[in-house]
Structure 1
Amino acid sequence: MHFPVSGVDVFPLIPPAVAFAVSSVTACAGTSGAFLLLPFMVSVLGFTSPAVSPTNFIYNIVAIPGGLARYIREGRMAWPLTWVIILGTLPGVFAGAWIRICYLSDLKAFKLFVGLVLLYLGIRLLYESAGRYLKTREQTIALEKKFQERMRKIKSKTSTHLAAGIPAEAVVKNRLVSLRKIEYDFWGETFSFNTITIFILALVVGLVGGIYGIGGGTIIAPFCVSILGLPVYTVAGAALAGTFLTSIAGVVFYVVLAFTPLGMHNAFSPDWFLGVLFGFGGFWGTYCGACMQKFLPERLIRGVLGILVTILAASYVIQFLII
């Protein structure tokens, strides 16, 4: 099947199938999988114009509601964290989209940027899955022990090989929300963070996310878990929500830009049909990923993603150096 906007020729079932496979894994960690689908679009499908970024945003818009609905239904949404991320990343996304168009339209430079962003994500994810990291987080240790103990009890009673380590009653309960500090409870443990710190970080992350076409939540999730010590079970939904809304803003920016004089000489309009196809697979993938999260220990989620992302990052950096 030919997609005239992007110039891509691909069997129509491949985009949703790839998106489902990727997002079902990444949604467990609070990422939509857009940071892995963009390299697939560029390298495998040959979608090399600047329009690949807004097309990736469309994938986020269609895909994320599946996982987001599941996190909201099960009470694993830290809403104060969500809104701080959104307010910080929104202005950064607009600035990042402008930089992508004006200074990173060259594919070689864009591949290096993608590689460096992925390398950061990969190293951070691997660090989070290391035993040394866990030893520095008492609350993380407590959650891990509760998770393993609950799984042992369920398996001993039901003789099943699959058990949910996170109980239905483990929901986010806000304790304090202010401009200086946000504090909440999850499964008997208390977690807190500085509001201003997250806002500034989200602003920078939005800038990077706007360039890359991922919304920013993908990058901020590892920081929230590793630096702030927040549990991935509560960060995932907030990161997805932030990515969803900032992706909407990103698409609007690119569509408006396509009607400006700058858009007369460049391909900025997204490939809507291709983006929706990827998004359809991603919708069910993020839903399944959100369901699977409560069955998986945090170290496993971070470890698998870390290995995958680091390998992908290395390949892009090597391509930049060789080509």
Structure 2
Amino acid sequence: MLFPLSGITVDPWLPPLVAFVISFFTSMGGISGAFLLLPFQLSVLGYTHPSVSSTNQLYNIVAIPSGVYRYCKEGRMVWPLAWAVVIGTLPGVLIGAVVRVTGLRDPRHFKLFAAVVILYIALKMIKDLRRRPAEAAAASKGGPLAATYGNPGTTVTITHRNLKRIGYTFQGESYDVSVMGIGVLCFIVGIIGGIYGIGGGAIIAPFLVTFFGLPVYTVAGAALMGTFVTSVAGVVFYTAIAPLYPQLSVAPDWLLGILFGLGGMAGMYLGARCQKFVPARAIKGMLVVIMLGTALKYILEFLK
């Protein structure tokens, strides 16, 4: 089947199947499948136009709502944090879209940028895998397993929110963060996410945990919500600027993106259900191997 907007020919069953498999495993590791879906489109499908980024964001729009609903239902959505992430990320995403169209048109240069992003996420996973068993056990309290199968009575309580600080309590601990600090971080991450087409959630969450000391258990929902909203903005912006670049494929391939999104939605749901039966370290180890191989391949292609 020919997808005219992307210029690729592929069987219609393949995009949802690939998205299903990727999101099934990545969701168990607490990570969106978008960052691995883009290399598949670049290397396997040969989809190297700037519109591949907006198509990847369209995947996020279709696949993410079920996850946001789950966090809201379990009372673990920190809405003030979510809106701080959205407000900080939005302008960065729009800038990233412009950079993608004007400065990273060459597939070689874009692949090098993609390799850097993938390497960052892979190194973050390696750091998690190298932690001592005691540290890993402590981290699991707010990790992917707890995030999916935690005590339904464990909820977030907002203590204060204003233009300067956001505070809340969770599992007997109090957390207080700077709105300005989150905004600056999310602005930078938004640019990266806008260029790459992942919305930035996979990058925002580790930073919020590492630099702000927030538990992953409460960060995941906010990062997911931020990814969803910024992906919507990214798709709208790419579509709006498409007429300005008639010689380029800029607007998303709607049919392809929706097919990916439907597979991703099913994969995320099933992955969350099966997560407790699969060791998290095994999942992360597998993802690290895939990401390092992909990043190395892109770097070698750029050097050649």
Q: TM-score under structure 1 normalisation?
A: 0.84
**Inter-partner Cα distance in structure 1 for 2:281 and 2:20:** 22
Displacement of 1:187 after TM fit?
Answer: 2.8
**Inter-partner Cα distance in structure 2 for 1:297 and 1:237:** 22
The AA in structure 2 aligned to 1:288 is L
The AA in structure 2 aligned to 1:285 is G
**Inter-partner Cα distance in structure 2 for 1:111 and 1:268:** 17
Listed one character per residue, the Cα deviations across residues 73-116 of structure 1 (whole Å, up to 9, x for unaligned) are 12221222211110011000111110111110000000000000
Equivalent residues in 2 for 1:230-249, closer than 5 Å = 230-249=214-233
Higher mean alpha-carbon deviation, 52-61 vs 287-296, is at: 287-296
Tell me, yes or no, if structure 1 residue 131 matches structure 2 residue 115. Answer: no
Unaligned stretches of 5+ in structure 1?
152-163
Residue 195 and residue 128 in structure 1: after superposition, are their counterparts in 2 closer, same or farther (change >3 A)? farther
Listed one character per residue, the Cα deviations across residues 225-244 of structure 1 (whole Å, up to 9, x for unaligned) are 23333222222211111111
The AA in structure 1 aligned to 2:226 is G
SS of residue paired to 1:259? helix
The AA in structure 2 aligned to 1:251 is V
Q: Which residue of 1 aligns with 2:9?
A: 9
The AA in structure 1 aligned to 2:266 is W
Tell me, yes or no, if structure 1 residue 201 matches structure 2 residue 185. Answer: yes
Higher mean alpha-carbon deviation, 69-78 vs 175-184, is at: 175-184
The AA in structure 2 aligned to 1:232 is V
Q: Which residue of 2 aligns with 1:98?
A: 98
Displacement of 1:245 after TM fit?
Answer: 0.6
Q: Which residue of 2 aligns with 1:169?
A: 153
Q: Which residue of 1 aligns with 2:82?
A: 82
Equivalent residues in 2 for 1:112-191, closer than 5 Å = 112-131=112-131, 135=135, 142=138, 144=140, 166-191=150-175
SS of residue paired to 2:243? coil
Q: Which residue of 2 aligns with 1:259?
A: 243
Tell me, yes or no, if structure 1 residue 219 matches structure 2 residue 181. Answer: no
Residue 229 and residue 132 in structure 1: after superposition, are their counterparts in 2 closer, same or farther (change >3 A)? farther
Tell me, yes or no, if structure 1 residue 318 matches structure 2 residue 289. Answer: no
Residue 308 and residue 176 in structure 1: after superposition, are their counterparts in 2 closer, same or farther (change >3 A)? farther
Residue 145 and residue 274 in structure 1: after superposition, are their counterparts in 2 closer, same or farther (change >3 A)? closer
User: Of 254, 270, 274, which residue of structure 2 is paired with 1:272?
Assistant: 254
**Inter-partner Cα distance in structure 2 for 1:317 and 1:247:** 27
Listed one character per residue, the Cα deviations across residues 261-304 of structure 1 (whole Å, up to 9, x for unaligned) are xx222111211100000000111222334445677787666555
Tell me the number of residue pairs that the alignment of Structure 1 and Structure 2 aligns. Answer: 302
**Inter-partner Cα distance in structure 2 for 1:73 and 1:245:** 19
Listed one character per residue, the Cα deviations across residues 164-205 of structure 1 (whole Å, up to 9, x for unaligned) are 752221222222323333222223333333222111000000
Residue 146 and residue 82 in structure 1: after superposition, are their counterparts in 2 closer, same or farther (change >3 A)? closer
SS of residue paired to 1:55? helix
Higher mean alpha-carbon deviation, 123-132 vs 274-283, is at: 123-132
**Inter-partner Cα distance in structure 1 for 2:166 and 2:133:** 23
* Kept in 1: contact 2:142–2:215 (CA 8 A): no
**Inter-partner Cα distance in structure 2 for 1:234 and 1:33:** 20
Tell me how large the CA RMSD over aligned residues is: 2.7
Determine which structure has more spread, i.e. the larger CA radius of gyration: 1
**Inter-partner Cα distance in structure 2 for 1:9 and 1:172:** 47
Residue 287 and residue 107 in structure 1: after superposition, are their counterparts in 2 closer, same or farther (change >3 A)? same
Tell me, yes or no, if structure 1 residue 288 matches structure 2 residue 276. Answer: no
**Inter-partner Cα distance in structure 2 for 1:133 and 1:181:** 34
**Inter-partner Cα distance in structure 2 for 1:98 and 1:276:** 23
Residue 48 and residue 146 in structure 1: after superposition, are their counterparts in 2 closer, same or farther (change >3 A)? closer
Q: Which residue of 1 aligns with 2:56?
A: 56
SS of residue paired to 1:193? strand
Q: TM-score under structure 2 normalisation?
A: 0.89
Unaligned stretches of 5+ in structure 2?
none
**Inter-partner Cα distance in structure 2 for 1:76 and 1:296:** 23
SS of residue paired to 2:64? helix
* Kept in 1: contact 2:142–2:217 (CA 8 A): no
**Inter-partner Cα distance in structure 1 for 2:14 and 2:232:** 24
**Inter-partner Cα distance in structure 1 for 2:280 and 2:175:** 16
